[in-house]
A = this chain, B = another copy of it.
Amino acid sequence: MIKEYIQTHQQRFLDELFDLLRIPSVSADSRHKNDVRKAAEYIVAKLNAAGADRVELCETKGHPIVFGKKIVDQSLPTVLVYGHYDVQPPDPLDLWSSPPFEPVIKDGKIFARGSCDDKGQVYMHIKAFEAMMKLNQLSCNIKFMIEGEEEVGSDNLGTFVKENKDKLKADVILISDTAMISLEHPSITVGLRGLSYLEVEVTGPNRDLHSGVYGGAVANPINVLSQMIASLHDDTGRVTIPGFYDSVISLSEDERKKLNEAPFDLNEYKKDLNIDDVRGEKGYTTLERTGIRPTLDVNGIWGGYTGEGAKTVLPSKASAKISMRLVPNQDSREISELFTKHFLSIAPKSVKVKVTLHHGGQPAVTPTNSKAFKAASDSFVEVWGKAPIPTRDGGSIPIVSLFKKELGLDTVLMGFGLDSDAIHSPNEHYGVKNFLSGIETIVTFYKHYSKQ
């Protein structure tokens, strides 16, 4: 019955998703403020149309949060669906083979910024809800909280959650904002890394100088920043910030063994990325490096002359955006402080250094023995023909630990993306099959979850 409904309406589902994808709701870019709101309003309209009781556009200090619900019966369990309608900036634009906000289907995949992260995955839940309403199948309560600041650190969600504990009362959180291993190997994420994101600025002389006149005698902030960044890792790929690993919970040999049993082909991985070798912390496999180990990456760097040709400048400033992925039981605030203290301490006297916090998020582990997890697992078996493999993801969804702390709720991370979907990159895409089977899996989840 649900299969049939999806088949009948799939073109409309895609058309509606495309309308949402056309809105450039880039939360990081203040020039897109109105577009972000437009995307929120679109979600409101579609939740209303699908049959939600009362959908609100909740204002925050930043971008608004969409809240909607359908209460079937107060005595039945309630699922709170979380997702986000904001997207990453699309640059570098010249690497997109089609414009990021003009969705197209190529080779069975929807190409557009946000197609997978997270508009496509959010929209599966709205259409699953519509189907259950139309087919009169919804047998538990459902709430939606779709925010617009996930890509910039969910700065205002904490306050919203704290101030609306009654409104958000539920039994479990359901989120589709992660990936599964492959279409052949469905999986459910059970661990997420946290995040500390900072920006650093190194200032040398008070103005750009001629590198011929001053070079060699005055600290060059690019050279100094490079040296400072280089020193953040030692020869074995470990982060050198004092105390960085202090709170990390080590997995047992058995847990590590299990983790490494997930299907993974290093040669395919290297081939896909066109790299001759992987690179990371010594003594850990690639799955461990991205799943259970904290890391430090420079996400952006700039300074001096970056235009065409050559300019012999010794610049006044150089900057970098640096983020760290955290694992249980590291604390994002503490790590940000350790970073700041250390980074300031390694600056030579010849420069001035400024460190600014962008945002952070706590790492999280979700339980695998809950009623909701079992329902999710069963729905994968029913739709995909295979039990999902529990995985640890490298990405961060700060909301998971926030929900646990503020609402006491566990989360099920039922994601349908693929690692190869190029989220946060040019040519982000999302499989049409993932989208449609995802809707079916979500409906099936509610069936199993309500039955128990």
Contacts and interface: CB of A to CB of B under 8 A. Distances in A.
Give chain A's interface residue range (CB within 8 Å of chain B). Answer: 35 or more
Copies in the complex: 2
A213 to B, nearest CB: 5
A29 B300 contact: no
Contacts of A229: 222-223, 226-227, 230
A430 to B, nearest CB: 14
A57 interface: no
Nearest to A152: B309
A312 B298 contact: no
A310 B359 contact: yes
B304 A303 contact: no
Interface stretch (A156-164, A314-322, A332-340, A381-389): A314-322
Interface in A8-51: 27-30
Contacts of A351: 275
Contact of A310 (B286, B299, B419): B299
A295 interface: yes
Contacts of A152: 309-310
A424 B303 contact: no
A206 B426 CA distance: 11
Instruction: Give 9 nearest A-B pairs by CB, closest first.
Output: A212-B395, A216-B295, A28-B309, A300-B304, A230-B230, A219-B279, A226-B229, A206-B274, A222-B298
Given A152-B310, A216-B297, A217-B286, 8 more contacts: A28-B311, A207-B425, A211-B299, A213-B290, A222-B298, A222-B301, A276-B352, A310-B359
11 contacts: A207-B422, A207-B426, A212-B393, A213-B423, A217-B278, A222-B297, A222-B298, A223-B229, A299-B313, A311-B424, A313-B425
